[in-house]
Structure 1
Amino acid sequence: MKRFFKLALVSTALITFSCTDLDDPLEDTLTEEFSVDGVSTGGGGSDGPLLATFGRLRAGSATNNGFFASQGVPGDDMAVPQKGGDWFDGGVWIQLHRHTWDAAHPQIENAWNDAYGGIGECNIALDGGSLDANQTAQVRALRAYFYWRLLDLFGRVKIITSPGGDAPQSERTAVFDFVESELLATLGISAVTASMDLSGSDLNTEISNYRINQYAALGILAKLYLNAEVYTGTPRYQEADWAATYIIDNSPYQLCAEGCVEPNLAKRPDVESDPAELEGYAAIFAPTNQNNPEIIFAIEYASIGAGGMNFAQMTLHGPSQLTFGLDAAPWNGFVTLEEFYNSYEDGDLRKEANFLVGPQTDFSGNPLIDFAADDDDLQVVYTPAINELEPNALRQGGARLKKFSFEVLGRQDMNNDYPIVRLGDVHLIRGEARARAAGDWNLSLPDVNAIRARAGLTTALGTITADEFLAERGREMHMESSRRTDLIRFGKFQDSWWEKTNADSFKNLMPIPVEQINASDGTLTQNPGY
C-alpha cells in the first residue's frame, strides 16, 4: 500500500534545540507531498483474532520505556546522560545506569505492566473459544514469552491463566517450569532432544515473521534453557544446544550476509556518499526488514497503524532533524558508551551499521550547525567520548544508536521491525551452550566465526575465552534487549564500568513494583534486598 503525508521542509539552520521531547514539527514555506510504498497498516496478517495479542508486544519493546529501558540502560553499552534539565526525569535514567533503582522506579513498573497487559490479552483470546488449534498454540507460546520476560526481570511472579483471574505468587523455578511446559506443549513434545519429532505440533513451519511457528517457539525455548542455571540453579545447556541446532539444521532461515540487501531509506538524494543499499548485517534492521531471511520472529512496527518504535527520536540530537528531514526534532537522549563503541575492530561492518559518529551534515550535505552548541565548534560532531553522566553532559557527546536505520522524511514512529528471535542470535546461543556444557569455550568458535565472517572480519579466531565470547555477543546483539541478561549469565552484572560502581548482587533481579505490592492485599512480596 502507499501512505501520503506532508513534509515540512526546513531551509534554515538558525534554530536551537534543547528540549528532551521537543516534538513540534519545524515548518517553512515549502511543503511537498510524498508517497512511500510498502508501509504496513499494523495488521501483520489476516488472522484477526491474534491482532490484539501480538500487538501488545509493541508496548515497551523498542521505545524509551519498559522492557527495552530495563534491559538496556543497566548494561555496559548504553546510557541516557542528563543534559541540564533534559533527560533528568527525576533521576530515573541515572538510577538505571548506576544500579541504584528502587521498587518505585517507573520504567521497571512499565516493564511489569506491559508483560501482564500482554498476558491479559492472551488469556482473553484463549478464553474466547474462537481460535483454531494453530492460533491457540501461538497464543500459548506468546503468553509463555511474556512470562519469560517476567521470569528474567522479576523472578517471582503470579502465573495468571484466565481473564480477570488471580493466583498466588510463584517461585522463580515454578515460573520457569510453566514457561517450559507451555512451549513444549505447543511443539507437541515432552522434552527437547537431539532427535525430537515435531510432526505433532499445532504450530506450523510457515514463514510469518509476526507470528510464532515451530522455529520461533524453539528459539524462545533456547533462550530459556541458556539461562536456566540463573533462573533455577540447574544448567540446561544441552537442551539449548539441541533447540538451536534444530533451527539451524531444519529451518529455511539464513544469515543475512553478502548479497542480502535492502534499500537505504536514509539516503539523501543530493549526498553521493550515502549508500543506496544496506547489505548484510545492516539490512537485518532496515525499515524494510519485514521479509529479511534471518528474522524468525519479530515485532511489527510501522509509522502508520503499528507505532511505538522511536529510536531516531531517542538518540539523535535535535539538529539532526535537518539531516534526515524528520517531521519532528529528536530528543537527544540514548547514547553508546565510549568503551563499548571502541570494542569493535576496524573493519567490523557492525560498527558502521550500529553507530552514528563524527561531523554531521544536513539534507543537502552541508555542515550541520547547532547554534546552541556546548563549545566553540558550531558544527554538530557526535563524539564517542561522553564527558559525564550528570548533571551537564555535552549535547554532542556519545555515539548515536543507528542499528535500526533511519529514513529520510521519517516520522516519529519508525517502520523497522524488531527481532525477538533471529538466526544470528540462535548461532550464538548454540555456540555458548556447547561451550558451557563441555567446559571448553573453543567449542563455540564455529558459530562465533560464522557471525564474525558475516561482519566482514575475515580472520577466523583460533581460540576464545568466556570474556571474549561475551564481548563478541555484545557487539552482535547491541540494542536487542539482551545485554542485562547476558551480563548476569556471565557473572559480570556487578562489575564496574563508566559511571557505574554499584555491585549489589541482589540487583540481578528487579524489584516487584511497590504499587503492585500495595494493591495485592498481601499476595505479592518483595524480592530480597529491596
Structure 2
Amino acid sequence: MKSIKQYILALAITPVMLAACNNNLDEIVYSDVTEQNYTYQSATAAMGIVYANMRDLFGHTTFYMVQETTSDELVMPANPSGWDDGGIYKRLHLHTWNSENPQLLNMWNALYRGVTNANRVISQLESGKVPATGGATKESLIAEMRAARAFFYWLICDNFGDAPLVTTTATDLPDKATRKQIYDFIVAELTEAMPNLSEQTGKEMYGRFNKWAAKALLANVYLNAEVYTGEAKWGDCLRECNDIIGSNKYSLEVDYRNVFITQNDNSPEIVFAVPFDEIHGGGFFVDMFSWHAALRDKRAMQTTPWGSGSAMGVSQFIDTYDPADKRLANTWLMGPQFAIDGVTPLKGSYDKAGQPLVFTKDLPDGLFTGESEGYRQNKFEIKVGARFDLSNDFPFFRYAQVLLMKAECMLRSGDAGGAALLVSDVRKRNFDDPAKATVTGASLLGNTRYKYGYVENYAMVDAGNTDPVQYGGLLDELGWEFAWEAQRRRDDIRFGVFAKKSWLSHKPQGGNRTVFMIPQSAVNSNPKLQ
C-alpha cells in the first residue's frame, strides 16, 4: 500500500535484545552518523522503526505461523518437495517444540526489537531530541509509542508468560517479570495513554495507534485476562468494545474479501493494520510457504512459491464449515488449479508429476503429505504479477473482531440472545440465505462441530478427550471468521481445547504448552532468565 512511506521512513539496525552475542559491550561506530549526533526531522520518521518492527512477525518461521500451526487450524507437514527442515514445523504441530526451535527465537527477537526501539523513541521524545511535528503534541506522540510498546508486550505476555519487562534504554541485563506483572503493566500503560491518543482515523493515522486501535488492543488483553492472571475481565472487555462501536468510526465490509485485497488500506473494517508494500515494506509472503510452485502461472507471478508449499488447513477444521458459507472458498484454495487463462490445467512436479494439480481436503496425518494434499491459503489476494513480498496490509484488529469480542463477553456473562444477534450480523454477508446466517444463543453455548481426534492414514484412530467444549459454537464462529489471521492459538487456549484435545497427528502435551519457553540463546546471554 502506498501510504506506508509516510510513516515508515526511518529504518535502522538495532541490537537484538537478549539474543546471543559476545560479551564486548563497547560500541563500534562504522559511520560518522550516530544516535548522539543524528538529528530527526520529524517524529514520524523516528517512530517509523517501531511500526516497521511489526513486519518482522509475519514470516513462516516466526509469530504468524507459530500462532496458526500450534493450533487446530493449520499444519505445515513435509512433502515430496521438502519442508522437513529438521522437524521444526512438525514440532509445533505436535507440541514438542524445545527452546532451540528457531521460530521461538525469531519471535522473541522481533518482539523485543519492537520494545527496544519503542523505549528509545519514548526517551527521545521525552528529552526533546525527537521534536513533535505535524501538529501533534509531545504528549500524544509519547502516548502513541506507549501503546505500540504495549502491543509488543501483549504478544510477549501471551506467548512467553514470564519475561523481562524493560521500559528504559539502560543496558543492564534485566530480570524476569511475572506474567501478571506484564499484564498489569500493559493495562496501566494503555489506560494512562488513552486520553492523549488521537481519535482521528484515515490516512494520517492508518497503521498507527489511535485511541480506537489502543482500545481494540486493551479489549484483547481483557478478553484473555483469565488466561493471563486467573481473573476474568469480561465487563472491562465489553466496555472497550462498546467504546469502539459507539465511535461510529468503523463498519463491516459488505464483501468479506475486500478486507484482504491488495489495496485494502481504505477498508472501513480495519481498526489497526500492519502495513506492507512489495517494494518499500516487505515481510508478508504467505503465498511463498502455502502455494505450490505451479501456482506461479495462476497469477503470472514474478517469483515462484517454494516447492509444493506447506501451510495448509487441518482437514478436521475444514469439515466444520457449512458448505453454504462463502468464507470456505474465500479462505481456502481447493480443487483443480488452472493458469491465469482459467483453462490451462496446472500440473504437479513431484508425486503427481505431469498430472493435473488438484488440491484435496483430507490429509493422511500432520507429518507428511502428497504435493496436492491440503487446502491452501486463499484469503489474502495474490494480485496478478505479484512479487515475492505482497502489498496486502495485515488487519491485526478489525471491526468484525470487535463485534465478536463483545459477543463473547455477552455470552460468557449470560446474555446468549444478545451474543447471537451480533454473531448473526457478522455472518450475514457470507450467506445468500438469511436463514443460514442466523444463529441462536443455544448454538453458541453448545458444543463445537469440530471432530477432534488423532488421525492416521486419513482415519481417526483415537478420539482422545471427548468432553464437550463450552461455548463451542462461538469457537467455531471465530475459526471461520479469522482463519489465517494469527488468532486461533489464543482462541484454542481460551476455550480450553489447546491442552486437552487431539487433532491430526497432535496429542495433548500438557498445560505447560500454553506458553513457550524462553529461547536458549537468550538464556545463554542472560543468566537471570534461567
**TM-score, normalised by the number of residues in structure 1:** 0.82
Residue 137 of structure 1 pairs with residue 143 of structure 2: yes
Residue of structure 2 aligned with 1:417, choices 356, 368, 393: 393
Percent pairwise identity: 28
Q: Return closer, same or farther for 1:156/1:352 CA change in 2, 3 Å cut-off.
A: same
| Equivalent residue in structure 2 for 1:321, among 268, 271, 296 | 296
Task: Say whether residues 1:97 and 2:93 are aligned partners.
Answer: yes
Any residues of structure 2 matched to 1:72-471 within 5 Å, and which?
Answer: 72-84=68-80, 86-129=82-125, 130=130, 131=132, 132-165=138-171, 166-188=173-195, 201-207=196-202, 208-257=205-254, 280-331=255-306, 332-370=309-347, 372-375=349-352, 378-391=355-368, 393-438=369-414, 441-456=416-431, 458-459=434-435, 460-462=438-440, 463=442, 464-465=444-445, 466-471=471-476
1: CA distance between counterparts of 2:417 and 2:59? Answer: 36
Following the alignment from structure 1 to structure 2, what is the Cα–Cα distance between the partners of residues 122 and 43?
18
Give the secondary structure class of the aligned counterpart of 1:346: coil
Aligned partner of 2:488 among 464, 483, 498: 483
Aligned residue number for residue 197 of structure 1: none
User: How far does residue 85 in structure 1 lie from its aligned partner after superposition?
Assistant: 6.0
Output the TM-score relative to the length of structure 2: 0.82
Stretches of structure 1 lacking an aligned partner (at least 5 in a row): 1-37, 189-200, 258-279, 526-530
Name whichever of 472-481 and 76-85 sits farther off: 76-85
Q: 1:512 to 1:472 in 2, by over 3 A?
A: same
Q: Which amino acid aligns with 1:450?
A: D
Question: One-letter code of the match for 1:338?
Answer: S
**Equivalents in 1 of 2:201, 2:4: separation in Å?**
21
Q: Is the 8 A contact 1:215 1:251 kept in 2?
A: no
**CA 115–231 in structure 1, closer or farther in 2 if over 3 Å, else same:** same
Give the conservation status (yes or no) of the 8 Å contact 2:80–2:371: no
Task: Report if the CA contact (8 A) 1:209-1:291 is conserved.
Answer: no
1:498 aligns with 2:493: no
Cα distance, 1:44 vs structure 2: 4.0
Take 1:388 and 1:346, find their aligned partners in 2: how far apart are those partners?
A: 23
Alignment partner of 1:509 is 2:485: no
Question: Structure 2: which amino acid aligns with 1:212?
Answer: F
Residue 236 of structure 1: how far off its partner (Å)? 0.6
Q: CA deviation at 1:377?
A: 6.9
SS at match of 1:76: coil
Partner Cα separation in structure 2 for residue 375 and residue 57 of structure 1: 38
Higher share of residues assigned helix: 2
Residue type of the alignment partner of 2:424 = N
Q: Deviations over 1:43-72 (max 9, x none)?
A: 447822221111111002x32121112111
Q: 1: CA distance between counterparts of 2:418 and 2:346?
A: 50
Structure 2: distance between partners of 1:253 and 1:281: 14
**1:365 offset after TM fit, Å?**
2.1
Closer, same or farther in 2 for the Cα pair 1:118/1:492, shift >3 Å? same
Return the alpha-carbon distance in structure 2 between the equivalents of residues 83 and 364 of structure 1. 28
Deviation at 1:371, TM superposition (A): 5.2
Partner Cα distance (1:170, 1:437) in 2 = 31
In 1: Cα distance, 2:107 partner to 2:74 partner: 18
* Deviates most, 489-498 or 81-90: 81-90
Amino acid at match of 1:509: V
Asked if the contact 2:294–2:348 (Cα under 8 Å) also holds between the matched residues in 1, the reply is no
State the Cα distance separating 1:314 from its structure 2 match.
1.4
How far is 1:383 from its partner?
A: 0.9
Whole-Å separation in 2 of the counterparts to 1:164 and 1:404: 41
- Taking the aligned partners of 1:306 and 1:455, their CA distance within structure 2 comes to 32
CA distance in 2, matches of 1:162, 1:479: 35
Distance in 1, matches of 2:161 and 2:420, equals 32
Instruction: Tell me if structure 1 keeps the 8 A contact 2:359–2:373.
Output: yes
Letter in 2 for 1:394: G
Contact 2:348 2:371 in 1 (8 A): no
1:515 shift after superposition: 1.3
Matched residue SS, 1:419: strand
Q: Which of the residues 59, 80, 92 maps onto 1:63?
A: 59
Distance 1:323 1:386, change over 3 A: same
Tell me if structure 2 keeps the 8 A contact 1:385–1:398.
yes
Give the counterpart letter for 1:501 in structure 2. Answer: K
SS state at 2:177 partner: coil
What is the alpha-carbon root mean square deviation over aligned residues?
1.7
Shift of 1:342: 2.4
Question: What is the rounded CA distance, in whole Å, between the counterparts of 1:468 and 1:41 in structure 2?
Answer: 38
Equivalent-residue separation in structure 2 for 1:75 and 1:237 (angstroms): 24
SS of 2:176's equivalent in the other structure is coil
